[in-house]
Amino acid sequence: MVVGAVEAGWLRVLEGEELAYLGTEPAREGRAEPFPDDLDPRVASALIARGISALWRHQAEAWEALRGGVNVIVTTGTASGKSLAFNLPVLDLLARDPKSRALYLYPTKALAQDQARALGAFGLKGVKPAIYDGDTVAERRWQIRKWANVILTNPDMLHVGILPRHDRWGDLLANLRYVVVDEAHVYRGVFGSHVANVLRRLRRLARAYGSEPQFVLTSATVANPARLAEALLGAPAVVIEDDAAPKAERTVALWNPQLLDPELGLRASALGDAARLLGSLTSQGLRTICFAKSRKAVELIHRFTVDRVESDVARRLAPYRAGYTAAQRREIEGRLMAGDLLGVTATDALELGIDIGELDCAISVGFPGTVSSLRQQWGRAGRRGSGLAVLVASEDALDQFFMRDPEALLGRTVEAAILDGTNPRVLDGHVLSAAFEGPICPADAETLGPEALERAAVLPELKHTEPGWVWAGTDYPAARVLLRSADRESFTVVEAATGSVLGLVERSRAFSTIHEGAVYLHLGEQHLVRSLDLEALIAVVSAASVDWYTQAKKETETAIVEPLRVERRLGLDLAFGRVSVTEHVVAYQRKSISGGDTLETVPLDLPPTSFETEAVWFSPGADLLHGLEEMPKLLSSLHAAEHSLIALLPLWAMCDRWDIGGLSTNVHFQTGLPTIFVYDGHPGGVGITERGFESFEGWVGDTTRMLRGCPCAAGCPSCVQSPKCGNLNEFLDKAGALTLLGRFCQPRKWMQPLTARVSSSEIAIETARHPGEQP
Ligand SMILES: [Zn+2]
Ligand SMILES: [Zn+2]
């Protein structure tokens, strides 16, 4: 059997002590249904011409639900035909009534282009898709408004180009029947909180023009699809999650590079191991894609692999990156699909829905941050035949946690996607924009939300008139609101050579990420910051290729503004609320990418910055701190506990550890006690730490297990050290942190006579969990 030979091939590769887990996920039969009776025959013929003769059950379910007039969110797996779930009703509608309109929202231009091509490929008369984004030339714009009946755009364009100019879009708004929000899980955190408001503004305007569109969302698997949809739309949606598409058998391997120095927790390079796997697999003729987090890593893996394999295989390997033009991307995708290319190394740019056909193997180098991203990457393997999916662990705490406890990764309900459209930092700009678009009256609470009405009444640039709150300013308020930032003041990152804008960095994090001399990553590409203009809010960067990264040293202070929730949890008074964070970046270090050694420390002269955000905090009492009271043991234990908590929070809230900050102090000026704060790194906060508050028991339990399982002696990058520590990882006591967090989980047992003989390694830790939070 061919399949058997292929499997035997990869099993030969997956040997050695590095193999932390090897298992199979079984194949699944598809559940198909005939086309619905009420499907327009022209659409049915178009599907048959494309080789589609039936629907998967979940596609049929979406059809039925949409027929019933509700909103829908589809969260079935990668390659399960989610696009057809929304294309089908749209095509059917337009075949019957070409005057109707549909709006498709994509987080990136590339995805919109792919979908426009897919729609065009049905070749249905009357279906006229067009992309309307920042690249659309002016003379095409009015034509598109006139003739297109499927507008494909992005939330940024909808926010700044379509809604404020709604008089030009009357035809779209009045006839709008479907709004498709594809890849909805991308809309989380700050971006999601903004998009939630943009969608509310869209609903309000559509209503003003007499339409009540239905929304179809698709998302990667998330823990809370109904909540995600409701948070984004401000209206409920039916969840369709029972995946009926067939699935090939998949072999899953977790690969942990060799532990070179157990004392220091030092491991062999993940990039080197990935190259070894990629080289062996492609040399056997297996088509393999290898995902890495940065362009630099992609380059290195590609180079290492080419060095290992025979020249005929080396010629069939290629790197792939976000910076390529559409034509370059398509060429690589085509060669990969045709089997001309055997191995591709890519940054996560490839992760989002782009079609590269069926591959044999997918290797993820380093946990990509969320289980749902990992599943998307793995979904590339074995789409038709059996496939191999591998995670090569980095030294990061989460990666190592998974290597020791594969079930925590493979058996886990995915993370919850979190956003908070009512964050005033985010909301206010949209209230102003909405007022610009039309007077805000009490009835708008239904679409914009009651919070928007409350804010309208206090925002000084709005004036109360007979029809409602109207815009009394002189400029264009939507232009002030950047959807990918919670800070109204953001630094623009400009490339010196071309003058093009690479991105925006919130003021609150600018000094630690784009100070002069910093290495700034844009779509995985390295850039060196040449200058930072504090007046003009501009950072000038140039492309670079260096073997080091930078880490800022900063001093942080946190002041409690207002506790919002306080509960007795795990023997502590656990608080969630608003805090003010002041950060002062005083220096940065250059560190080598391969070994992490410090190459140089450079002082910086930057002013402190402050922002208000959300946090969880707690002050362990004397009982919990027994034996840890002495300085610097006390501070080092708290600091190490804070770092490890931050490292594990992304397991519970769908975020990156870079989204979270922390502070630990032996005596806080307000609590008067030793205190640990974990705060949301975005001004205003988007709900990440509230999720931590709600899942505290599971969160602490995971963190304790992680600390307990790390084989290092006194702390390493895989447990208590943090790549973003403002103190450059000084004062960290792993044993102290473990003692402390271990006592949270078992406060009763150890308290009395036990104390004398408690050493951190002896404490038996049981994971405390809330029922229902994790299977
Ligand atoms: Zn360690
Ligand atoms: Zn730190």
Ligand that comes closest to the CA of residue 662 = 2
pLDDT at site 205: 98
Ligand that comes closest to the CA of residue 643 = 2
CA 602 to centroid of ligand 2, rounded, Å: 19
728 φ, ψ (degrees, to nearest 5): 55, 40
DSSP lists the bridge partners of residue 660 as 680
Q: Is the pLDDT of residue 110 over 80?
A: no
44 φ, ψ (degrees, to nearest 5): -60, -45
Ligand that comes closest to the CA of residue 676 = 2
Q: How big is the chain by its Cα radius of gyration, in Å? A: 27
CA 758 to centroid of ligand 1, rounded, Å: 20
CA 724 to centroid of ligand 1, rounded, Å: 16
pLDDT at site 346: 87
Of 312-316, 673-677, 684-688, 766-770, where does mean pLDDT reach its minimum?
Answer: 766-770
Q: Is 708 helix (H, G, I), strand (E, B) or coil?
A: helix
Q: Is the pLDDT of residue 53 over 80?
A: yes
Ligand that comes closest to the CA of residue 725 = 2
Is 478 in contact with 160 (CB distance < 8 Å)?
yes
pLDDT at site 350: 57
Ligand that comes closest to the CA of residue 710 = 1
Is 479 in contact with 465 (CB distance < 8 Å)?
no
CA 644 to centroid of ligand 2, rounded, Å: 10
pLDDT in tens, 645-687: 999 998 888 777 778 999 999 999 999 999 999 999 888 888 8
Q: Is the pLDDT of residue 34 over 60?
A: yes
Ligand that comes closest to the CA of residue 723 = 2
CA 639 to centroid of ligand 2, rounded, Å: 6
Q: Is the pLDDT of residue 594 over 70?
A: no
CA 720 to centroid of ligand 2, rounded, Å: 9
450 φ, ψ (degrees, to nearest 5): -60, -30
Q: What is the dihedral of CA 698, 699, 701, 703, to 10 degrees?
A: 160
pLDDT in tens, 700-754: 999 999 999 999 999 999 999 998 888 888 899 999 999 999 999 875 544 443 3
Cis peptide before 632 (omega within 30 of 0): yes
pLDDT in tens, 163-197: 999 999 999 999 999 999 999 988 988 889 999 99
Instruction: Work out whether the CA dihedral 691, 692, 696, 700 comes out positive or negative.
Output: positive
SS (H, E, C) 723-754: CCCCCCCCCCCHHHHHHHHHHHHCHHHHCCHH
pLDDT at site 416: 76
Closest to 104 measured CA to CA, from 204, 35, 172: 172
DSSP β-ladder status, 501-506 and 490-495: antiparallel
Closest to 278 measured CA to CA, from 311, 302, 252: 302
Q: What are the tokens at 60?
A: 């049929």
CA 658 to centroid of ligand 2, rounded, Å: 13
Ligand that comes closest to the CA of residue 262 = 1
For residue 651, count CB atoms less than 10 angstroms from its CB and return exposed for 0-12, middle for 13-18, buried for 19 or more. Answer: buried
CA 637 to centroid of ligand 2, rounded, Å: 11
CA 343 to centroid of ligand 1, rounded, Å: 34
* Cα–Cα distance, 410 to 470 (Å, whole number): 52
CA 262 to centroid of ligand 1, rounded, Å: 9
Q: Is the pLDDT of residue 20 over 80?
A: yes
Is 680 in contact with 508 (CB distance < 8 Å)?
no
Closest to 316 measured CA to CA, from 325, 329, 305: 305
Q: Is the pLDDT of residue 320 over 90?
A: no
CA 720 to centroid of ligand 1, rounded, Å: 6
CA 718 to centroid of ligand 2, rounded, Å: 14
Ligand that comes closest to the CA of residue 730 = 2
Ligand that comes closest to the CA of residue 266 = 1
DSSP lists the bridge partners of residue 104 as 152, 180
CA 643 to centroid of ligand 2, rounded, Å: 6
Mean pLDDT of 143-162: 95
CA 174 to centroid of ligand 1, rounded, Å: 60
Q: How many CB atoms lie within 10 A of CB 542?
A: 12
CA 162 to centroid of ligand 1, rounded, Å: 51
CA 730 to centroid of ligand 2, rounded, Å: 7
CA 770 to centroid of ligand 2, rounded, Å: 29
CA 724 to centroid of ligand 2, rounded, Å: 7
pLDDT at site 724: 80
**Which amino acid appears at position 316 of this protein?**
R
Average pLDDT across the chain, whole number: 88
CA 660 to centroid of ligand 1, rounded, Å: 21
CA 714 to centroid of ligand 1, rounded, Å: 7
CA 729 to centroid of ligand 2, rounded, Å: 6
Query: Which residues make Cβ contacts (< 8 Å) with residue 25, sequence separation at least 6?
Result: 247, 249, 250, 251, 252
pLDDT at site 326: 61
CA 80 to centroid of ligand 2, rounded, Å: 43
Q: What are the tokens at 608?
A: 């402190």
CA 636 to centroid of ligand 2, rounded, Å: 10
The beta-strand segments (E) located in 38-161 are: 55-56, 72-74, 101-105, 129-131, 150-153
User: Looking up tokens 């608003």, which residue turns up?
Assistant: 578
Convert 153-172 to b/e letters by CB count within 10 Å (16 or more is b): bbbbbbbbbbbbebeebebb
Query: Which residues make Cβ contacts (< 8 Å) with residue 648, sequence separation at least 6?
Result: 397, 398, 401, 699, 702, 703, 706
pLDDT at site 394: 93
CA 718 to centroid of ligand 1, rounded, Å: 5
Of 12-21, 79-88, 369-378, where does mean pLDDT reach its minimum?
Answer: 369-378
* Cα–Cα distance, 247 to 375 (Å, whole number): 13
Q: Is 620 helix (H, G, I), strand (E, B) or coil?
A: coil
Convert 729-740 to b/e letters by CB count within 10 Å (16 or more is b): bebbbbbbbbbb
CA 103 to centroid of ligand 1, rounded, Å: 50
Ligand that comes closest to the CA of residue 716 = 1
* Cα–Cα distance, 225 to 75 (Å, whole number): 7
Q: What are the tokens at 263?
A: 């004392």
- Long-range CB pairs of 657-660 (<8 Å, 24+ gap) are 657/722, 657/724, 658/724, 659/189, 659/688, 660/688, 660/689
